[in-house]
Structure 1
């Protein structure tokens, strides 16, 4: 898009901030990392490709919270994604695959009894162990993650009944899940109960752990964290139902950062089990405890004098004894990851309904596309520069997809740098392009066109959309686990008019950009629709977007969720720029930045959150951008919105809500904030309009 400011044409007058009416929606649940891939048509491929199974969303899921943070050489937590999916029904097979050096997605189908009782199954790195629906049970034993084990998901299992008849058992260290020095572990949607010792033990400097949506019950010790003098552990604990457990609910010792939110702790009266305490911050722990619900607990929140424990928004009902906080400021979790907490009053209902194993996880029934992509088997085309795949360029694989295909085609791109431009045309929907490497950095698609450069065939300049390294023009298409870059050299083309250089263009409906690095300078990420009067929705998650001038722009209805927006200096080393430049049509939703982080090595107060783009002086455009529940660096100006092309931003739709960090600021006429009521109509589900990626 142009960086110039045009003289406005006739402009209607409107109120300073107009929020569009919300789209009517069916209720939708939390958005998972990755997508539910649809099922594909035969493409005349080899027998190996014909046998490729459909890829359910649960095989590609990745963690939130601290387990999603890139650290210690690990890019978040995604378990066995990319490895074989195997189904086990015996202890021997479970042990074999859990301890294997290769990545695996291991589906536990049925109840597996552990022999001898109390044995802890050793789990190696890069594993997802998941129950098939609600049938996956581990009886009489548990799992153990040793020093250095990383990238493990334990999900949707019932782990139970290693109890040896002694309530506060000092002889039998039989845990459901124990880790000693592991990192990047996600424990999610399990039912853990009736063990001899703790249900979960996170020990000996284990870190980057998330424990979410579990039921923990009927045990003396629920959940212990620590057993070390080092202050290392970073852990997120949310949406767990902890009931009928006496102690360690959890007990958190010497944790560097412990974020507990939206947990439901319940002590039911009249039972033989009575809680001695609830959440406990010990040693030099720094704990933030928010929006949790304590029902009938004795001593619901306690802390050592050496610990820091900050509380906010919690509800205590029928509790007694100690409820403590203090020691100073804890920490801001949004400095590490994005999240949205439910209201504490809603937690009992939300957690009771959602915690524990789900029938939709680990089940073949999850292989249908949410967009109705068809009923054949998913087909995979492989791309490798070294000739070991079916194609050596990404575009060649796209060309092999039949026009009008009604089912999912996955283009799996092996690690390497692919210097090419790629276009997925409008007549080839349901295409997924995904890197097969362990990291999004392993597979790079890069080119260096710019709007003002002349095409080699002499037919004119590329223009802004034509400069894109990757252009996705087909509905229901997805990009995953890639870097997409435009490396146009502005310094070498200073005299050129038209430095717009798009890395990724999305110009269709229901596009998912998941786990990407999208990097450039001006106009990095262009979010458009197929035509001005045609809807186009884009969901960007778990990604990095890098640029300096209008680098998230266009007329699409777009959500950037749980991502990092990195500000970049210009080619001459100066710091100045704009993140968003929406050109939203009237009556449509624009750009929503949600639960994300804005950072970058640029000067303080040098970047705007955005400006209003009216292409060609279009007076009918009604640009909209909302930035909410995000952490803003000091680079953001105190007056974060500005005019473009002679149009006043105050006559368009720009707002913030509950942002934090040094770049956040109070509401004013120059910095509109949404009210709580308006914010309720500007959430991810409102933007997506009934579509669940």
Structure 2
């Protein structure tokens, strides 16, 4: 069949126009546009990718392949340490790089690590970073949104292999002192040395993390059980974070830890699937004013859905408790469901009004596990 040149050009033009973010930001990051209608760019190598991410232009950056930063900045051998948590050295434990002088007073060991993983790319304002299919992979380097950078979308990108054998080996996504409007969607993180996602200490305002897979499977574990401990650290100053439809699995702690400085972090955890955690899921630093509203979540094979003694949580497990949301939020919260897990406690209602106007729509927990497994992570837009 013959196609005219004009039809062919029209087809390719429509493909270019369609490239970019799928859907719209919601929750506390509602209104985030990222690079907006900027013409998509397709980096060819890590130099071009870094340039597009860090410049001052609005960008829609399409990742059509893997960008491997491992070896790009060399390798470092120096003194690190063996923390007390590493009870299985040489057999799946995690030693540590001396990040932030963390090793002070702990037994010294030599560590060799890839330098690129320990410092992230500073992403500028008004950027959309979007993977194509399952091809958008950043290996050996994390992303950092800081210094007032705002209006950033990271979607359908897999960030992996940041010195996973070492604590302080690198963070996949860091948000610190950002200007707000940060949407992380359909992302996957795996084989990370320290935090998969971290926000804090300086304020970053409105953030939404959605449809994202935090994969804790690892051969180097601080808990010596092939599960990652350093999963999510949310310790901003007055940050408000929507955490919805995410799959957090094979972890052993900090999944997430919530705290901060000053006003602390408010986390609304909605319709997430927490699976196979050998330690604790939520850890809430009440002295840092960490606050959590957890509704419609599923906890399956989670030893401690919440760390012992933590109190600043509202986590309904029955219809009567869930009704407490109706006045401050305008709807009845969804009940959480536990299967083969420890106890989930949390009936503090004093901060429910802090999430007013967030604009999320929870579904019953009975729908969550299958939906999240089918939709969270890369290649599922």
Give the TM-score taking structure 1 as reference length. 0.40
1:209 corresponding residue in structure 2:
207
CA contact (8 A) 1:125 1:151 kept: yes
CA contact (8 A) 1:302 1:325 kept: no
* CA apart distance, 1:304: 5.7
Pair 1:286–1:155, CA change in 2 (3 A): same
**Correspondence list, 1:474-489, <5 A:** none
1:237 maps to 2:243: yes
CA contact (8 A) 1:112 1:139 kept: yes
Across the two proteins, how many residue pairs are aligned to each other? 294
- Structure 1 portions without partners, runs of 5+: 1-40, 69-75, 268-273, 362-693
* Aligned-residue offset at 1:317: 0.4
Following superposition, the deviation at residue 197 of structure 1 comes to 0.5
Structure 1 residues 256, 51: CA separation in 2 closer, same or farther (over 3 Å shift)?
A: closer
Other-structure match for 1:123? 123
Distance 1:291 1:52 in 2: 39
Partner residue in 1 for 2:224: none
Question: Paired residue for 2:376, among 351, 355, 379?
Answer: 355
Residue 258, structure 1, aligned to residue 260, structure 2: no
Structure 2 match to 1:298 = 303
Q: Which residue of the partner structure matches residue 280 of structure 1? A: 283
Judged with a 3 Å threshold, the aligned counterparts in structure 2 of structure 1 residues 282 and 95 are, in CA distance, closer, same or farther, namely same
1:102 maps to what in 2?
57
Q: Which residue pairs with 1:79 in the alignment?
A: 34
Q: Deviations over 1:560-592 (max 9, x none)?
A: xxxxxxxxxxxxxxxxxxxxxxxxxxxxxxxxx
1:185–1:331 distance in 2 versus 1, CA, 3 Å: same
Q: Which aligned segments of 4 or more residues in structure 1 are displaced greater than 4 angstroms?
A: 50-54, 303-306
Q: Distance in 1 between matches of 2:299 and 2:14?
A: 48
Q: 1:315 aligns with which of 319, 323, 337?
A: 337
Distance 2:20 2:14 in 1: 17
Larger gyration radius, structure 1 or structure 2: 1
Matched residue SS, 2:47: helix
In 2, Cα distance between equivalents of 1:154 and 1:146: 14
Structure 1, 347-356 or 55-64: larger mean CA deviation: 55-64
Q: Displacement, 1:189?
A: 0.3
**Which deviations, in whole Å up to 9, do the C-alpha atoms of 1:301-357 show, x marking residues without a partner?**
24765634343400010012x422133333157732322212102211000000011
Partner of 2:357: 336
Q: Identify the residue that residue 178 of structure 1 maps to in structure 2.
A: 174
Flag the 1:57–1:336 CA change in 2: closer, same or farther, 3 A. Answer: farther
More helix by share: 2
Taking structure 2 as the reference length, what is the TM-score of the superposition?
A: 0.71
Partners in 1 of 2:339 and 2:207 — Cα distance? Answer: 29
Is the 8 Å Cα contact of residues 241 and 263 (structure 1) preserved in structure 2? yes
Please report the RMSD computed on the Cα atoms of aligned residues, expressed in angstroms. 2.5
**Superposition pairs for residues 633-644 of structure 1, below 5 Å?**
none
Q: C-alpha distance in 2, partners of 1:52/1:104?
A: 18
Question: Does residue 62 in structure 1 map to residue 83 in structure 2?
Answer: no
C-alpha distance in structure 2 between counterparts of 1:177 and 1:296, whole Å:
26
Structure 1 residues 123-154: Cα deviation after superposition (integer angstroms, max 9, x where no partner):
00000001111111111111011121100001
CA contact (8 A) 2:21 2:155 kept: no
Q: Which residue of 1 aligns with 2:105?
A: none
Q: Per-residue deviation at 1:221?
A: 1.3
Secondary structure of 1:220 counterpart = coil
Corresponding residue for residue 618 of structure 1: none
Once residues 315 and 130 of structure 2 are traced to their aligned partners in structure 1, the CA distance between those partners, rounded to angstroms, is 34
Aligned-partner Cα distance in 1 for 2:13–2:367:
45
Distance apart, 1:211 and its partner CA: 0.3
Counterpart CA distance in 2 for 1:243 and 1:181 is 28
Could you say which residue in structure 2 is the equivalent of 1:246? 252
For the 8 Å contact 2:231–2:253, the answer to whether it is kept is yes
Cα–Cα, structure 1 residues 60 and 314, in superposed 2: closer, same or farther, change >3 Å? closer
SS in 2 for 1:125: coil
The CA deviation string for residues 507-565 of structure 1, in whole angstroms up to 9 with x for no partner, is xxxxxxxxxxxxxxxxxxxxxxxxxxxxxxxxxxxxxxxxxxxxxxxxxxxxxxxxxxx
Once the two structures are TM-superposed, the CA of residue 253 in structure 1 deviates from its matched residue by: 0.6
Distance 1:256 1:162, change over 3 A: closer
Change (3 A) 1:291 1:308: closer
Q: How does 1:398-417 map to 2 (within 5 A)?
A: none
In structure 1, how many angstroms separate the alpha carbons of the residues matched to 2:265 and 2:176?
A: 16
Per the TM alignment, residue 59 of structure 1 is displaced from its structure 2 partner at its CA by 3.7
Q: What is the CA-CA distance between 1:60 and the residue it aligns to?
A: 6.7
- C-alpha spacing 1:279/1:143, structure 2 compared with 1 (3 Å): same
Deviation at 1:62, TM superposition (A): 3.0
Question: Structure 1 residues 162, 305: closer, same or farther in 2, change over 3 A?
Answer: closer
- The 1-side partners of 2:309 and 2:208 are apart by 23
SS in 1 for 2:280: coil
Q: Tell me the distance in 2 between the aligned counterparts of 1:77 and 1:181.
A: 17
2:194 is the counterpart of 1:197 = yes
